[in-house]
Amino acid sequence: MGYNVAIVGATGVVGQELITLLEQRKFPVDKIKLLASARSAGKTMEFGQQTVEIEEATTEAFAGIDIAFFAAGGSISAALAPAAVEHGAVVIDNTSNFRLEPDVPLVIPEVNSDDLTWHKGIIANPNCSTIIMAVVLAPIYQAAGLKRVVTSTYQAVSGAGAAAMTELDQQVREYLDGTQPTAQVLPVASLPRHYQIAFNLIPQIDVFEDGGYTKEEWKMIKETRKIFHLPELPITATTVRVPVFRCHSLSLNIETEKKLTVSEARELLSTYPGISVIDEPASQSYPMPSVLSGTDDVYVGRIREDDSVACGLNLWVVADQIRKGAALNSVQIGEELIRRGLV
């Protein structure tokens, strides 16, 4: 009746959220296997009523697994996902490792679930900011076409993992103690320079690549093009880390092919699955990260016509990037695979 499910990286921020969501959404789990590094092996975690012993993630661990969620970093996915597929599992990979591979579907179920039909064992879960943006772009694209997209992001520290959340908390304590904040994690733990995030903004997410763009910015550009099957979509991004624990926000400027009024855009967005509109200027209602942590939808507000171009729209978008940006989207991919008989 059910499926044997593995979670690779079970002890991480996304891994823990996967466990919560599989329970909450009554995912048809027969047996659960929680995999992590050798360091965590032997410890236990709760899954529903069960206490589950964490096992080391090795190639052999995937024997008998039907669905394997990977959320332990790109190098672990590179090393173990092919082995999981060889053992017969379908891999739903939360890392960037396979996302731009031509034979790996990159899927947001609300947006391009048909791409699941051609999977060859691995399905990639897009970047968190990309998912949040693409869900909002989808109904607008369907109704009015996309001519150009310009986004600036306001990304929470949890996007850089539990250590970055601890660092923000610690820096705030140091600030109140009057001591110099220590920084060891952000913007990128493995790079030489680290900066305070408390009461600061860091305009670097991930490493720098071509053209002065960061890898995060390229992810938003290239993954969005792949998801929409629009390889030439004109799109640009500036990604910024902000001192918020959870929920990514985006300022989104969209140029459509066909004119959309604010009320048309609001109607399109509010009726699309996975989107909630919070947009009442008169009552000061708009999406904010502090009140939306732990929720599933992508929230849109500040919907305005932008008359600096013929068909322009400005939107403000907030979503819990650990949920819809990562764990929830992965679980939804699993649910859709089951519904379509693709696992």
Catalytic center residues: 128, 248
Give yes or no for residue 256 binding a copy of itself (CB under 8 A). no
* 192: phi then psi, degrees, rounded to nearest 5: -70, -35
Minimum distance from CB of 304 to a copy of itself (Å)? 4
Binding a copy of itself by CB under 8 A: which of 79, 85, 240, 342? 240
- Applying CB under 8 A, among 26, 49, 60, 307 the residue interacting with a copy of itself is 307
**Residue count, binding to a copy of itself (CB under 8 A):** 62
- Among 51-59, 89-97, 105-113, 310-318, the segment contacting a copy of itself (CB under 8 A): 310-318
* 138 in Cβ contact with 111 (< 8 Å): yes
Q: Which is nearer to a copy of itself, 88 or 281 (CB)?
A: 281
Residue from 62, 213, 218, 272 touching a copy of itself (CB under 8 A): that is 213
By C-beta, is 9 or 312 nearer to a copy of itself? 312
Name the minimum Å distance from CB 177 to a copy of itself. Answer: 10
Q: Is 225 in the site for a copy of itself (CB under 8 A)?
A: no
Residue (242 or 338) nearer to a copy of itself, CB:
242
Is residue 141 near a copy of itself by the rule CB under 8 A?
no
Binding segment toward a copy of itself, per CB under 8 A, in 19-27, 40-48, 88-96, 229-237: 229-237
- Told to check if 11 binds a copy of itself by CB under 8 A, we report no
Piece of the chain touching a copy of itself by CB under 8 A; list 6-14, 38-46, 55-63, 187-195: 187-195
User: Is residue 306 involved in binding a copy of itself (CB under 8 A)?
Assistant: yes
| SS3 letters across the chain | CCEEEEEECCCCHHHHHHHHHHHHCCCCEEEEEEEECCCCCCCEEEECCEEEECEECCHHHHCCCCEEEECCCHHHHHHHHHHHHHCCCEEEECCCCCCCCCCCCECCHHHHHHHHHHCCCEEECCCHHHHHHHHHHHHHHHHHCEEEEEEEEEECHHHHCHHHHHHHHHHHHHHHHCCCCCCCCCCCCCCCCCCCCCCCCECCCCCECHHHCEHHHHHHHHHHHHHCCCCCCCEEEECCECCCCCCEEEEEEEEECCCCCHHHHHHHHHCCCCEEECCEHHHCECCCHHHHCCCCCEEEEEEEEECCCCCEEEEEEEECCCHHHHHHHHHHHHHHHHHCCCC
Q: Is residue 275 at the binding interface for a copy of itself, with CB under 8 A as the rule?
A: no
Binding site for a copy of itself (CB under 8 A): 148-150, 152, 154, 168, 172-173, 175-176, 187, 191-193, 195-196, 199-204, 208, 211-213, 234-236, 238, 240, 242-245, 249, 251, 253, 262, 279, 281-284, 286-290, 301-309, 312, 314, 316, 318
